[in-house]
């Protein structure tokens, strides 16, 4: 019973490049959440998606960041024109339902922007 | 606004000591959930417990126990007879609405010394 999968685990980008982070939810889970953890800080919510829908993106920066969860395939968090301040650990979580179920987290993607 | 406070930034104990990690939350909801997650040095986030506000009974799972006090808005976590493998950052979390998004405390870094 595979857990939440994220890849890559580590990603290095130069300023101005694009970063694509992938998340495959647990089997049977149709809700995906992205969180960001800056160094020495707690996790901050970014976006909540269901298949083909963005439900809540209140935590997403207004520019350069986007997320999708297509009908087929993993959820993608995309960061365009990365800057050094984007360096962080990005965690994906999934749950089967929304209002009462636990969110299970993937191992995270550590993004380093040079 | 919903808020989670973990006042202890770092705790250091000697192996076999008991240790309690504090969590205080703020909520406007009458029913809600509370969570604890563990982040070991390897970086992943491990789900520990989800608690419903209706159930104020203390919960015990092996060496772990949780004390939920609705009157003081606290959900404290105790590790009995701590072990080196318990060394990690522990996060308390509370949903902003329903089950999403999770609002995390800043975490408590626990170091258990042999």
> One digit per residue, pLDDT tens: chain B, 114 residues?
678 999 999 999 999 999 999 999 998 888 888 999 999 999 899 999 998 888 878 888 999 999 999 899 999 999 999 999 999 999 999 887 766 788 999 999 999 999
Residue given tokens 């404290």 in the structure block: B76
Distance (Å) from the alpha carbon of A89 to chain B's nearest alpha carbon: 9
Question: What is the DSSP code string of A58-90?
Answer: TTS-SSSEEEE--SSS-EEEEE-S--GGG-EEE
Contact A19, A86 (CB under 8 A): yes
Residue of chain A minimizing CA distance to B4: A42
Q: Do B47 and A105 touch (CB under 8 A)?
A: yes
Contact A33, A69 (CB under 8 A): no
Q: Which residues on A lie below 8 Å from B50 (Cβ)?
A: 102
Q: Do A33 and B100 touch (CB under 8 A)?
A: yes
């Amino acid at each position: 019973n595979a857990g939440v999968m994220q890849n890559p685990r580590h990603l290095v980008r130069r300023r101005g490049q694009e970063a694509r982070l992938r998340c495959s939810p647990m089997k049977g889970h149709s809700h995906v959440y992205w969180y960001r953890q800056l160094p020495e800080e707690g996790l901050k919510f970014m976006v909540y998606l269901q298949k083909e829908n963005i439900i809540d993106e209140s935590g997403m920066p207004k520019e350069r960041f986007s997320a999708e969860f297509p009908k087929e395939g993993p959820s993608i968090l995309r960061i365009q024109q990365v800057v050094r301040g984007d360096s962080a650990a990005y965690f994906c979580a999934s749950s089967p339902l929304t209002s009462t179920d636990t969110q299970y987290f993937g191992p995270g993607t550590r993004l380093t922007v040079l | 606004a919903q808020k989670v406070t973990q006042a202890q930034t770092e705790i250091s104990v000697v192996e076999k000591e008991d240790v309690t990690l504090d969590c205080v939350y703020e909520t406007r909801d009458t029913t809600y959930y509370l969570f604890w997650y563990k982040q070991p040095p390897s970086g992943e986030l491990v789900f520990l417990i989800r608690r419903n506000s209706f159930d104020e009974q203390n919960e015990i799972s092996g060496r772990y126990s949780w004390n939920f006090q609705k009157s003081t808005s606290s959900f404290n976590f105790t590790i009995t007879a701590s072990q080196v493998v318990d060394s990690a950052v522990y996060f308390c979390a509370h949903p902003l609405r329903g089950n999403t998004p999770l609002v995390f405390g800043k975490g408590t870094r626990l170091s258990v010394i042999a």
